[in-house]
């Protein structure tokens, strides 16, 4: 390398670094948390460039005393609030149980969504039942909110003979078209442009349904994210683009996706898309923002990007050891609290719920999940023989099986027979 | 050392020798990679030489090419080979042709490391073997080690090499050799002669195959995890096979292949990647072109099936001793 010119100051490379690492005490006092109710609520038909500040603040509804305040309060009736709370608690109970099932060797893999339950549950409640969701792997709350059978979810996780995906997919990579749930890919952010395409098709056909998609903040770095934004703005696609900013992408903090420089909601600004940044641990804020964005999409005002500011309270997956890269105190120090607890406190403040009912519900949900697990395990668990017949491996690659796959299938069966297995 | 430690050691040795070597990729910095292959390197060499990247494979490779153009020697990691596809354009259209299109004005001296292959219940997005796609592209070298000793020596050669190199790491044997029987654990590298890895610098040249076992009855061409599955199968079957571990697919050690097949007169090709258009097809054509008059039986291929890797049936998909055994029986029939 040539020597740098001596009279110029040397350049230096900036590499982001999270504020805390293992052993450090977590302190989030510098996270800007504006008071609940302080963000204005523009008309859902307002031009995208007339509320840029909403991409930089935090839309919050629930305040510290559990009251719902301000213009974004969706004023849900207690019945809806209780359903929301129940679904969120169910997601948590389900995650708990399936995480343990993986630890017991009943399946290969699991991913929890602990701390992020509001993001998927509240958003789903604000969508119509036939709107199409293009989720990533951490939105099991969509299926649970839409009443998808728990036993079927577990069959998929166990890759057993009751698995509707025939044991082909990794656990939690569900697909359920009749529940408006697009097949999950392991490849990050690929669902983003696909959601935009679905929304464009719906618009082109004069349909009334809209699309919604989710990805993590880490995944916003992928090219697919940016292609999706371009298509969405160009064609004013009726789509809601959700970024779940849970602060961590495996061991990489949000700074490696650009969080030191701006917010993720602000990605919308450059594309001329409506951008909202919401408190992702506030189920009512998530609901309100989604409802607003859905109204916008349904009235041909185009796409909305919503950043859900939240925190991944547990490890990335069952393969992950979060204590190897982040402060053990972080989950508790997180300034936006726990979404289930916050919604519970709101219902209690309304006089529509109490701790006893909550505890009873938790027990009931745990029982329900346990019963479903027993039912699912009757169909087998991973690696215990009760899987799909071997030939199914060759089905579904194409609509009709070409000669070479037929030949390979026959050869496999013959070889297994010859070997006596 | 196990293979992960050997790979780590190769990067360590090269970073110490050459200040231009930089390591980059998703989670490779503080955490040391999801498979721990880069563990400790950031502490030792600092954040500007070992750093986490945004999650964008096309960005990782494009940026590595730019760093290479400046004069650095980037060693980017793609977390799983299944995620190399988003980077395809930068690898195929850019890295592979930079030297050619600029008459060597610019080159891309990058070494892309990536764990590949199945056998860990990774499902279809954590199991693929994409090497065939890249061997089809002119201008990229493709290296696949089968043991810790080779892994370190080959990785050092790849990092020193001035051409873009893909270094696919068979993750099934990161921790030890594997005999292909899914219900048995893999063995420990520490009991294996090729698990004895020197701490310091040494090289294994790219483009040279290894004869893992000399034999007279049949030549078996394989690489990566399959070397161990093949070795185990012929031991179980008591076949006097010659096993050739290709080690690099491009450039290929055609001499070693030719010599061996001409000697044994029979050839079996084993790889985990899907069959149609796979690297086995190329090997088969080469053997046919160069050894036709020496062949005593049709060339056989044992490969992955032409389906995605199925999560629950992965052991039926994996080319194990049963499938290799059946092919050998056919080859040695008369
Ligand atoms: C294309 C691609 N690259 C890399 C990976 C490996 N990977 C799986 S999850 C993950 C982190 C994703 O983080 P984020 O988008 O923030 O979502 P979160 O897990 O936090 O919900 C990575 C790097 C992948 N699945 N796909």
Selected for mutation to probe chain A from B27, B39, B55, B124 (highest A CB count within 10 Å) is B55
CA nearest to A21, candidates B76, B330, B30: B30
Q: In the β-sheet with B141-143, what is the strand arrangement from edge to edge?
A: B50-52, B21-25, B73-77, B111-116, B165-170, B141-143, B248-250
Q: Determine phi and psi for B144, rounding to 5 degrees.
A: -140, 105
Instruction: Report the alpha-carbon distance of residue A332 to residue A280 in Å, rounded.
Output: 16
| Cα separation values, B27 from A50, A324, A327, B117, Å | 38, 12, 16, 20
Selected for mutation to probe chain B from A243, A381, A415 (highest B CB count within 10 Å) is A415
Structure tokens at A398: 């194409």
Closest approach of A160 to chain B, Cα-based (Å): 8
| Spatial contact of B11 and B40, defined as CB atoms under 8 Å apart | no
Minimum Cα–Cα distance from B126: chain A residue? A186
Please say if the pLDDT value at position A4 is more than 80.
no
| Spatial contact of A243 and A215, defined as CB atoms under 8 Å apart | yes
Beta carbons within 8 Å of A8's beta carbon, 6+ residues apart: none
Element (H, E) at A278: strand A274-279
Cα of A192 to ligand 1 centre, how many Å?
A: 14
| Beta bridge partners of residue A305, listed in sequence order | A241, A275
Q: How many CB pairs under 8 A join A and B?
A: 141
Task: Determine, for residues B54 and A418 on separate chains, whether the beta-carbon distance falls below 8 Å.
Answer: no
| Closest residue CA from atom 19 of ligand 1 | A249
DSSP state of A60: -
Query: Which CATH architecture fits B210-332?
Result: 3-Layer(aba) Sandwich (3.40)
Per-residue pLDDT, A71: 98
Instruction: Report the alpha-carbon distance of residue B310 to residue B302 in Å, rounded.
Output: 18
* B chain contacts of residue A187, beta-carbon cutoff 8 Å: 82-83, 85-86, 125
Residues of chain B with pLDDT under 70: none
Per-residue pLDDT, A108: 96
| Spatial contact of B120 and B317, defined as CB atoms under 8 Å apart | no
Instruction: Report the alpha-carbon distance of residue B215 to residue A102 in Å, rounded.
Output: 45
Element (H, E) at A346: helix A339-349
Minimum Cα–Cα distance from B309: chain A residue? A168
* Band (A2; pLDDT cuts 50, 70, 90): low
CA nearest to B218, candidates B198, B194, B255, B244: B244
Please say if the pLDDT value at position A316 is more than 60.
yes
CB contacts under 8 A, A 344-403 vs B, are: 382-383, 387-388, 390, 392-394, 397
CB contacts under 8 A, A 99-118 vs B, are: 108-109
| Beta bridge partners of residue A241, listed in sequence order | A213, A305
Please say if the pLDDT value at position A248 is more than 60.
yes
Answer yes or no: A316 catalytic: yes
Per-residue pLDDT, A141: 98
| Spatial contact of B272 and B225, defined as CB atoms under 8 Å apart | yes
pTM for this model (two decimals) = 0.96
* Band (A1; pLDDT cuts 50, 70, 90): low
| Beta bridge partners of residue B75, listed in sequence order | B23
Catalytic residue among A277, A312, A326, A358: A312
* Band (A387; pLDDT cuts 50, 70, 90): confident
Q: Helix or strand or coil: residue B3? A: helix
Q: Is A183 on the interface with B (CB under 8 A)?
A: no
Q: Determine phi and psi for A233, rounding to 5 degrees.
A: -75, -40
Q: Which tens digits make up the pLDDT trace of B134-168?
A: 999 999 999 999 999 999 999 999 999 999 999 99
Averaged pLDDT, A342-365: 98
Q: Which tens digits make up the pLDDT trace of A172-206?
A: 999 999 999 999 999 999 999 999 999 999 999 99
| Beta bridge partners of residue A59, listed in sequence order | A278
Of A15, A249, A412, Cβ closest to residue B48:
A15
* Band (A386; pLDDT cuts 50, 70, 90): confident
Pinpoint the alpha helices (H) of chain B.
Answer: 3-17, 41-45, 57-70, 88-89, 98-101, 131-135, 148-160, 225-237, 254-264, 279-291, 314-317, 321-331
Closest approach of A223 to chain B, Cα-based (Å): 7
| Spatial contact of A176 and A134, defined as CB atoms under 8 Å apart | no
Structure tokens at B229: 């599955």
Q: Is B48 on the interface with A (CB under 8 A)?
A: yes
Helix axes A283-298, A78-103, angle to 10 degrees: 110
Of A224, A251, A394, Cβ closest to residue B305:
A394
User: Is the peptide bond prior to B251 cis by the omega test (within 30 degrees of 0)?
Assistant: yes
Instruction: Report the alpha-carbon distance of residue B64 to residue B24 in Å, rounded.
Output: 8
From B55, B58, B88, B125, the mutation candidate for ligand 1 (largest count of ligand atoms within 8 A of CB) is B55
Please classify residue A311 by burial: count the beta carbons closer than 10 Å to its beta carbon, then call 0-12 exposed, 13-18 middle and 19+ buried.
buried
Element (H, E) at A355: helix A355-377
| Closest residue CA from atom 8 of ligand 1 | A188
Please say if the pLDDT value at position A61 is more than 70.
yes
- Cα pseudo-dihedral B149, B154, B156, B157, rounded to 10: 150
Averaged pLDDT, A136-142: 98
Cα of B167 to ligand 1 centre, how many Å?
A: 22
Q: Is B104 on the interface with A (CB under 8 A)?
A: no
* Band (A170; pLDDT cuts 50, 70, 90): very high
Closest approach of B312 to chain A, Cα-based (Å): 5
Q: What is the DSSP string of A77-135?
A: -HHHHHHHHHHHHHHHHHHHHHHHHHHTTSSS-----TT-HHHHHHHHHHS-TTSEEE-
* Band (A217; pLDDT cuts 50, 70, 90): very high
Domain borders along chain B are 3-195, 210-332
Asked if the domains at B3-195 and B210-332 fall in one CATH topology, the answer is yes
With a Cβ cut-off of 6 Å, ligand 1 is lined by A 138, 186-188, 215-219, 244, 246, 248-250, 312, 316; B 26, 55, 57, 79, 83, 86
Per-residue pLDDT, A270: 98
Please classify residue A349 by burial: count the beta carbons closer than 10 Å to its beta carbon, then call 0-12 exposed, 13-18 middle and 19+ buried.
middle
Minimum Cα–Cα distance from B47: chain A residue? A15
Structure tokens at B82: 């299944």
Does ipTM surpass 0.90 in this model?
yes
Ligand 1 atom nearest to CA at A246: 20
Of the candidate CATH numbers 3.50.50.60, 3.10.105.10, 3.40.50.970, 3.90.1150.10, the domain formed by B3-195 belongs to: 3.40.50.970
Task: Determine, for residues B307 and A170 on separate chains, whether the beta-carbon distance falls below 8 Å.
Answer: no
In this structure, how many other beta carbons lie within 10 angstroms of the beta carbon of residue A164? 12
């Amino acid at each position: 390398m040539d020597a740098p010119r001596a009279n110029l100051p040397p350049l230096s490379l900036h590499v982001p670094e999270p504020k805390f690492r293992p052993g450090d005490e977590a302190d989030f006092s510098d996270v800007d948390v504006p008071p609940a109710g302080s963000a204005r609520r523009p008309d859902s038909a307002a031009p995208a460039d007339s509320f840029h500040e909403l991409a930089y603040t935090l839309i919050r509804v629930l305040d510290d005393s559990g009251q719902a305040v301000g213009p974004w309060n969706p004023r849900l009736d207690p019945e809806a609030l209780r359903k929301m709370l129940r679904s969120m608690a169910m997601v948590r109970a389900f995650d708990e149980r399936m995480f343990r099932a993986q630890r017991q060797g009943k399946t290969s893999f699991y991913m929890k969504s602990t701390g992020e339950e509001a993001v998927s549950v509240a958003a789903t409640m604000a969508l119509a039942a036939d709107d199409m969701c293009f989720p990533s792997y951490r939105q099991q709350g969509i299926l649970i909110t839409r009443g998808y059978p728990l036993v079927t979810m577990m069959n998929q996780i166990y890759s057993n003979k009751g698995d509707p995906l025939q044991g082909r997919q990794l656990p939690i990579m569900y697909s359920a078209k009749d529940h408006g749930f697009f097949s999950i890919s392991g490849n990050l952010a690929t669902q983003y442009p696909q959601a935009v395409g679905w929304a464009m098709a719906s618009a082109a056909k004069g349909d009334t349904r809209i699309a919604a998609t989710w990805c993590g903040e880490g995944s916003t770095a992928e090219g697919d994210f940016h292609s999706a934004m371009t298509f969405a703005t160009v064609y004013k696609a009726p789509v809601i683009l959700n970024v779940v900013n849970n602060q961590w992408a495996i061991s990489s903090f949000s700074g490696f996706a650009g969080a030191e420089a701006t917010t993720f909601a602000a990605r919308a600004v450059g594309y001329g898309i409506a951008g909202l940044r919401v408190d992702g641990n506030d189920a009512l804020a998530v609901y309100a923002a989604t409802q607003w964005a859905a109204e916008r999409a349904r009235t041909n005002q185009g796409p909305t990007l919503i950043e859900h500011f939240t925190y991944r309270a547990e490890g990335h997956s069952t393969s992950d050891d979060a204590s190897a890269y982040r402060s053990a105190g972080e989950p508790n120090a997180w300034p936006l609290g726990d979404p289930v607890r916050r919604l519970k406190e709101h219902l209690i403040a309304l006089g529509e719920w109490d701790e006893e009912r909550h505890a009873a519900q938790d027990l009931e949900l745990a029982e329900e999940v346990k019963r479903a697990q027993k039912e699912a395990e009757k169909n087998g668990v991973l690696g215990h023989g009760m899987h799909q017949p071997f030939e199914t491996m060759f089905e579904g690659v194409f609509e009709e099986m070409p000669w070479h796959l037929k030949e390979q299938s026959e050869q496999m069966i013959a070889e297994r027979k010859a070997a006596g297995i | 050392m196990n293979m992960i430690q050997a790979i780590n050691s190769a990067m360590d040795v090269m970073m110490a020798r050459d200040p231009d070597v930089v390591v980059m990729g998703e989670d490779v910095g503080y955490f040391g990679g999801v498979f721990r292959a880069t563990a400790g390197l950031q502490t030792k060499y600092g954040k500007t030489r070992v750093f986490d990247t945004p999650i964008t494979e096309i960005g990782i490779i494009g940026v590595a090419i730019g760093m290479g153009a400046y004069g650095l020697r980037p060693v980017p990691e793609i977390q799983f080979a299944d995620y190399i596809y988003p980077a395809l354009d930068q690898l195929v259209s850019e890295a592979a042709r930079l030297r050619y299109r600029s008459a060597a004005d610019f080159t891309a001296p990058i070494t892309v490391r990536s764990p590949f292959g199945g056998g860990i219940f990774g499902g279809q997005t954590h199991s693929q073997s994409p090497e065939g796609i890249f061997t089809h592209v002119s201008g990229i070298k493709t290296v696949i080690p089968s043991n810790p000793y080779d892994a370190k020596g080959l990785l050092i050669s790849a990092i020193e090499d001035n051409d873009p190199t893909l270094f696919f790491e068979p993750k099934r044997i990161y921790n030890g050799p594997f005999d292909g029987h899914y219900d048995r654990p893999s063995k420990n590298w520490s009991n294996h002669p090729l698990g004895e890895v020197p701490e310091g610098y040494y090289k294994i040249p790219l483009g040279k195959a290894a004869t893992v076992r000399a034999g007279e009855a049949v030549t078996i061409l394989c690489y990566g995890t399959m070397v161990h599955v093949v070795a185990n199968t012929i031991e179980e079957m008591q076949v006097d096979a010659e096993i050739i571990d290709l080690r690099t697919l491009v450039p290929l050690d055609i001499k070693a292949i030719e010599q061996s097949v001409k000697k044994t007169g029979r050839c079996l090709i084993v790889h985990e990647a899907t069959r149609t258009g796979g690297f086995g097809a190329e090997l088969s054509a080469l053997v046919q072109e160069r050894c036709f008059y020496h062949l005593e039986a049709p060339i056989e291929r044992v490969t992955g099936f032409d389906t995605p890797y199925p999560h629950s049936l992965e052991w039926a998909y994996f080319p194990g001793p049963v499938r290799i055994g059946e092919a050998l029986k056919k080859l040695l029939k008369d």
